[in-house]
Amino acid sequence: MPESESVITQEMRDAVGVESDPVTYDIEKGAIIRFAQAIGDDNVIFNRENDARKTRYKGLVAPPTFLRSVAHVETPEPKIKVSSPYPANVDGGSEWEYFEPIHAGDTITATTYLSDVHERQGGRFGNMLIMVRETKYVNQFGNVAALQRTTGISYQPPD
């Protein structure tokens, strides 16, 4: 796509890498247990504190998908909000990387930032604007516990 036709604005370029204000979550034992029960996971490291203490984790840890539940309580808001000029949007999916177990009693701080914005031509959607946002979850020791990449795709529907 020629540069003159690009829908990527300077504001979008400037927003790449700018972290939101942090949002902090206290990871509670009861929340971990209720979440594990809700998803039907009876692994002792998620459900039974006494048994979990005997494992290499030395206590309860959150199931990998647990962060999806706490992120709905309060989501980090970007400092520079950018939006697509296209009216139609689809979820391009999300991927997660896990680096540290999340224990009951941990304090997790999340920040979100736009990590990439690019365009793609063609296909049944026509011209598309693709924005990738990353949410970084850091524990109280300063270690990244998890990283979530969420892809949003917007496009101009054909006439």
Q: Specify the DSSP element, H or E, that contains 29.
A: helix 29-38
The verdict on residue 135 lying in a domain is yes
In a domain, 59, yes or no: yes
Question: Which residue reads 């949410």 in tokens?
Answer: 135
- Tell me whether residue 97 is in a domain: yes
Q: Is residue 1 part of a domain?
A: no
Best CA proximity match to 35, nearest among 9, 7, 81, 71: 71
Would 24 be classed as within a structural domain? yes
**Domain CATH code at residue 80:** 3.10.129.10
Range of the domain at 19: 6-155
| 3 pLDDT above the threshold of 50 | no
Task: Tell me which residue has tokens 């990387």.
Answer: 97
Q: State pLDDT tens for residues 28-48.
A: 999 999 999 999 999 999 999
Q: What would the mean pLDDT of 80-101 be, rounded to a whole number?
A: 91
User: What are the Cα distances from residue 136, in Å, to 24, 85, 116, 149?
Assistant: 12, 27, 15, 9
Number of domains in the chain: 1
Query: Contact, 115 vs 134, CB < 8 A?
Result: yes
Asked if the structure places residue 66 within a domain, the reply is yes
Write the pLDDT tens digit of every residue in 149-159.
999 999 888 76
55 inside domain: yes
